[in-house]
């Protein structure tokens, strides 16, 4: 029994234990104030499902040896175009959601492939290059949003009639479609069943892929390229597989995020998408060289719950509205912590 | 007798309750070469780490016992303190900056400087390097070692053998050097380099520097040591003058069982098959440092063909070229089929397997488990260990079963199939490599430097394994820098000189013939008729 507990503890890791304890303490404090604990937890569930796929997207690129995918916006933009195409045609409900995915996935594949061609040329510096690719793509797309041939009045600026708006609402199309699917209430807690199921499905598919022959090959390429060559594997093509997969997951992630959030934020909206996802997967126990699906799941649960719960609690405890400051400190502090712990679960 | 340079008294050390050194006594006198021998894991490295005040020791609760330098008790809490006390160390892994020149490496952090305008104002940190003085010091140190290399060439690109000398030059350039610790310095050297190395060590000792020499090669010990200490499992087995031991005795004390040091493992003379399995024609391989410049060679079915030669002459490139790992030209036919060059996939598909000389770089995925390392290549090239179905999921059950079987068959010492390969000793890592190649079910197996950097006990086991595989019908081409090893298992031995085939000898051919071929002389040239080997 004791041995098993020790084994579980080692598997979970001290950082995650500390964060969990801290989280529990926060929730207890929250219960002592006039905050609604079920409400906070409901928000957490939504944010977990909403951000979970971005965190999953980190795994294929880490496993393929390209490190954390800081170029996540490349995929996010593909997802954005998918959402816009669906909205342009005023598709509502599941139809709208599916069309958005159907557009986003092929676009994500193409964008991811091109991105992988670049990363294969800068092997060893993927994370640095990826960060700037992400920034540049967002900036470049700002021009596209202004010139894009969309004509639905709900999307474009009301006056002048050219260019997309900064913030679009999905309330009239497919906002909340997934969240409300089979949603139910229990102890005052709203469970976004569809959202969580969709996330679980993707996590399962990714897990399956990592156990398949190409998944194993990708991992070998990431861990020791020279061994991979000697085993007859083509390094660049498996790295591309990982990066494309990561980008496609980001594209799907955006469609899910937008329907859950209820708004699509264009222009500089996706600039920072990679950072919380990076922080979450590292907190979950991954390193820049090794990541499992379970790291992504634990990471997104801890990170998003902490963000959701910590903010209102600090606001309650400290006079005045410091919510924004607290959010920045907490989330960047966690990224900083996580990046200093790049060795991952075992040594962290 | 004068006071010994180094005395270690009753040294004990345990890591987390695990006793790794128990009551070790060691004395090194001035100008003496003291050899420390023992298998991997015997505690040699720990003892040296203690001597050097490495943080692995201090962070884990220090050690018990006393260290005396020139008769006064010391306790180093950092390598810097040890260096200041006149102890130098040459590590097994090279600690050199590749982009820097030989001089810069020798003088690193001990540069000679001269004042300039800025330094007078801003202090010593701003002084200019006295390159002339540095170069002459470096030259001096290199000359002491009998090294002809220029002191201004960058270290990157120097042959491995030279790097070792540069490291030693760095140590002897320190003026207060009293004791030089050499940690398996000859492991990466070829026989001739090692010989030169030993002469240098002898010369250093004659000049009054004491030397603590850690090695696996027992004949080296016999050649240079004044005093020998044998460790086994953290205990001092025996210590004494060199004359008190024979090689066989040392090997026996070291591993605690009888070991044949040379002597043929496969003794029976076998009928040679006439079928050619592999025909190599005019193969040139562009492998940096080991270039092969066009070689013709036939490999016969069922034989063990040894490939020998000095380092840098291209013997290693043969297997790498055939397997497609380095750019090559020429023609290779396997069982009558052309092997496409520069394409590892095709070579593997044809049933060739390769155990690389670069075990940690090419041969293994260090961070992965034993089980995965064994099955990876077969899974990717032969679709083995996959569950039926379009998803091609890996079959963990089958993988574990196969790994357990391999661990048993190849005698891999580990905690289980899920152990990470990095944590295994060199010998066991090598067994994993061989198990991986065997799992591919090859008809023709290339093995390069199978015993490099592994201890005596594991060495003979690895060689036995290769012979066993051969008896099961696998044709083996083994490349090795250790001639004795090739002669102990091969049926024929091809010697490569300057990228060309110098000749093929029988394993029992006299030493002189091997020597001549390795030196690039053909046998006819010196009047020895070629022996009937084909």
**pLDDT tens digits for range B474-533:** 999 999 877 888 888 999 999 898 888 988 988 888 777 777 787 776 666 555 544 444
Chain A residues whose CB is inside 8 A of the B358 CB are: 226
DSSP B113-146: EE--HHHHHH-GGGPEE-HHHHHHHHHHHHHHTT
Binned at pLDDT 50, 70 and 90, residue A76 comes out as very high
Please tell me the distance from the alpha carbon of residue B6 to that of residue B87, in angstroms, as a whole number: 10
Compute the average pLDDT of residues A301-324: 79
| Cα atoms found within 13 Å of the Cα of residue B204, Cβ hemisphere only | 33
Please tell me the distance from the alpha carbon of residue B142 to that of residue B500, in angstroms, as a whole number: 31
What is the percent of chain B where pLDDT is above 70? Answer: 91
Chain B residues whose CB is inside 8 A of the A227 CB are: 362-365, 376
pTM of the model: 0.72
| Cα atoms found within 13 Å of the Cα of residue A336, Cβ hemisphere only | 6
Inter-residue contact B502 to B309 (CB < 8 Å): yes
Please tell me the distance from the alpha carbon of residue B326 to that of residue B341, in angstroms, as a whole number: 9
- The answer to whether the Cβ–Cβ distance between B377 and A208 falls below 8 Å is no
Give the relative orientation of helices A213-223 and B370-382 as an angle to the nearest 10 degrees: 120
Task: Characterize B249-268 residue by residue with b for buried, 16 or more Cβ atoms within 10 angstroms of its Cβ, and e for exposed.
Answer: ebbbbbbeeebebeeeebee
Distance from CA of A221 to the nearest CA of B (A): 10
Binned at pLDDT 50, 70 and 90, residue A327 comes out as low
Please tell me the distance from the alpha carbon of residue B442 to that of residue B424, in angstroms, as a whole number: 25
DSSP B421: G
Chain B residues whose CB is inside 8 A of the A288 CB are: none
- The answer to whether the Cβ–Cβ distance between B367 and A229 falls below 8 Å is no
Chain A residues whose CB is inside 8 A of the B326 CB are: none
pLDDT of amino acid B533 = 43
Compute the average pLDDT of residues B35-57: 81
Chain A residues whose CB is inside 8 A of the B372 CB are: 216
Please tell me the distance from the alpha carbon of residue B402 to that of residue B417, in angstroms, as a whole number: 9
Distance of CA B459 to the CA centre of its chain: 12
Nearest-CA residue of chain A relative to B360?
A: A227
Binned at pLDDT 50, 70 and 90, residue A289 comes out as confident
Give the relative orientation of helices A2-12 and A14-32 as an angle to the nearest 10 degrees: 90
Query: Is the pLDDT score of B218 beyond 80?
Result: no
Compute the average pLDDT of residues B395-402: 92
Report which of A113, A280, A282, A292 is spatially closest to residue A211, judged by C-alpha positions.
Answer: A292
pLDDT of amino acid A45 = 93
Burial of A92 (0-12, 13-18, 19+ CB in 10 A): middle
What would you measure as the largest C-alpha separation in chain B, in angstroms? Answer: 83
Binned at pLDDT 50, 70 and 90, residue A42 comes out as very high
A-B Cβ pairs (cutoff 8 Å, strict): 73
- The answer to whether the Cβ–Cβ distance between B367 and A289 falls below 8 Å is yes
Report which of B361, B357, B348 is spatially closest to residue B422, judged by C-alpha positions.
Answer: B361
Query: Is the pLDDT score of B40 beyond 70?
Result: no
Which of A111-120, A315-324, B106-115 is predicted with the least confidence, judged by mean pLDDT? A315-324
Binned at pLDDT 50, 70 and 90, residue A345 comes out as very low
Sign of CA dihedral A267, A269, A272, A273: negative
pLDDT tens per residue, range B120-159: 777 777 788 888 888 888 888 888 877 777 888 888 877 7
Provide the residue count of chain A.
Answer: 348
Nearest-CA residue of chain B relative to A207?
A: B393
Please tell me the distance from the alpha carbon of residue B89 to that of residue B102, in angstroms, as a whole number: 18
CA distances from B128 to B107, B174, B175, B264, B395 (A): 14, 20, 22, 60, 64
Query: Is the pLDDT score of A46 beyond 80?
Result: yes
Query: Is the pLDDT score of B112 beyond 60?
Result: yes
């Amino acid at each position: 029994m004791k041995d098993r507990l020790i084994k579980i503890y080692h598997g979970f890791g001290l950082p995650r234990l500390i964060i969990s304890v801290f989280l529990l303490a926060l929730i207890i404090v929250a219960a002592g104030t006039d905050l609604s604990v079920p409400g906070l937890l409901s928000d957490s569930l939504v944010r977990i499902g909403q951000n979970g796929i971005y965190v999953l997207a980190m795994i294929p690129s880490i496993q393929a040896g390209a490190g954390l995918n800081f170029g996540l916006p490349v995929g996010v933009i593909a997802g954005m175009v998918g959402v816009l195409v669906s909205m342009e045609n005023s598709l509502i409900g599941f139809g709208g959601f599916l069309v958005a995915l159907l557009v986003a996935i092929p676009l994500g594949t193409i964008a991811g492939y091109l991105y992988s061609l670049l990363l294969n040329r800068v092997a060893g510096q993927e994370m640095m290059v990826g960060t700037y690719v992400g920034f540049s793509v967002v900036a470049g797309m700002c021009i596209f949003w202004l010139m894009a041939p969309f004509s639905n009045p709900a999307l474009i600026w009301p006056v002048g009639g050219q260019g997309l708006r900064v913030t679009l609402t999905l309330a009239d199309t497919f906002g909340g479609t997934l969240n409300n699917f089979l949603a139910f209430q229990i102890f005052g807690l709203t469970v976004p069943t569809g959202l969580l199921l969709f996330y679980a499905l993707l996590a399962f598919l990714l897990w399956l892929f990592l156990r398949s022959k190409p998944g194993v090959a990708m991992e070998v390429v990431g861990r020791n390229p020279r061994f991979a060559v000697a085993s007859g594997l083509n390094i660049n093509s498996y790295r591309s597989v990982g990066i494309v997969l990561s980008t496609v997951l980001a594209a799907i992630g955006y469609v899910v995020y937008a329907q859950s959030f209820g708004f699509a934020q264009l222009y500089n909206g996706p600039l920072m998408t990679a950072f919380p996802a990076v922080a979450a997967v590292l907190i979950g126990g991954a390193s820049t060289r090794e990541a499992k699906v379970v790291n992504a799941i634990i990471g997104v649960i801890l990170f998003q719950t902490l963000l959701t719960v910590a903010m209102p609690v600090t606001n309650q405890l400290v006079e005045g509205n410091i919510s924004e400051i607290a959010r920045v400190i907490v989330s960047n502090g966690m990224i900083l912590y996580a990046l200093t712990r790049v060795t991952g679960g075992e040594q962290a | 007798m004068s006071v010994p340079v180094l005395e270690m008294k009753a040294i004990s050390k345990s890591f987390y309750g695990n006793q790794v050194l128990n009551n070790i006594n060691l004395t090194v006198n001035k100008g003496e070469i003291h050899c420390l021998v023992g298998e991997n894991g015997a505690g040699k490295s720990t003892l040296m780490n203690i001597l050097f005040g490495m943080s692995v020791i201090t962070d884990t609760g220090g050690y018990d016992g006393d260290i005396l330098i020139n008769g006064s008790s010391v306790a180093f809490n950092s390598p810097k303190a040890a260096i200041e006390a006149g102890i130098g160390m040459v590590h097994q892994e090279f600690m050199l900056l590749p982009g820097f020149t030989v001089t810069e490496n020798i003088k690193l952090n001990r540069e000679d400087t001269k004042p300039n305008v800025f330094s007078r104002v801003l202090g010593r940190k701003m002084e200019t390097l006295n390159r002339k003085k540095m170069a002459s010091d470096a030259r001096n140190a290199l000359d002491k070692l009998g090294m002809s290399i220029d002191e201004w060439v960058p270290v990157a690109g120097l042959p491995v053998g030279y790097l070792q000398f540069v490291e030693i030059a760095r140590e002897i350039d320190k003026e207060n050097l009293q004791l030089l610790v050499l940690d398996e310095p000859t492991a990466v050297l070829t026989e001739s380099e090692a010989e030169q190395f030993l002469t240098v060590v002898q010369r250093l000792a004659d000049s009054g520097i004491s030397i603590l020499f850690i090695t696996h090669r027992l004949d080296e010990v016999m050649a240079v040591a004044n005093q020998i200490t044998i460790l086994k499992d953290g205990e001092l087995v025996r210590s004494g003058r060199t004359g008190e031991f024979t090689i066989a005795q040392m090997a026996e004390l070291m591993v605690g069982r009888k070991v044949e040091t040379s002597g043929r493992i496969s003794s029976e003379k076998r009928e040679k098959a006439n079928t050619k399995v592999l025909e190599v024609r005019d193969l040139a391989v562009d492998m940096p440092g080991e270039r092969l410049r066009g070689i013709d060679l036939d490999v016969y079915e069922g034989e063990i063909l040894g490939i020998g030669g000095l380092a840098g002459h291209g013997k290693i490139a043969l297997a790498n070229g055939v397997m497609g790992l380095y750019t090559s030209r020429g023609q290779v036919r396997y069982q009558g089929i052309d092997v496409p060059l520069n394409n590892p996939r095709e070579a593997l598909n044809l049933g060739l397997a390769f155990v690389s000389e670069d075990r940690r770089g090419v041969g293994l995925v260090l961070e992965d488990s034993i089980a995965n390392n064994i099955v990876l290549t077969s899974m990717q090239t032969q679709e083995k260990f996959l569950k039926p179905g379009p998803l091609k999921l890996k079959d963990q059950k089958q993988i574990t079963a196969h790994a357990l079987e391999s661990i048993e068959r190849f005698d891999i010492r580990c905690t289980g199939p899920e152990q990470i390969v990095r944590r295994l000793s060199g010998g066991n890592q090598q067994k994993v490599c061989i198990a991986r190649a065997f799992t591919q079910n090859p008809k023709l197996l290339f093995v390069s430097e199978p015993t490099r950097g592994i201890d005596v006990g594991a060495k003979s086991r690895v060689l036995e394994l290769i012979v066993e595989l051969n008896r099961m019908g696998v044709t083996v081409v083994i490349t090795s820098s250790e001639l004795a090893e090739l002669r102990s298992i091969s049926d024929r031995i091809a010697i490569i000189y300057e990228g060309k085939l110098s000749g093929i000898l029988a394993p029992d051919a006299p030493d002189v013939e091997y020597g001549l071929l390795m030196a690039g002389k053909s046998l006819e040239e010196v009047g020895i008729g070629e022996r009937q080997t084909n």
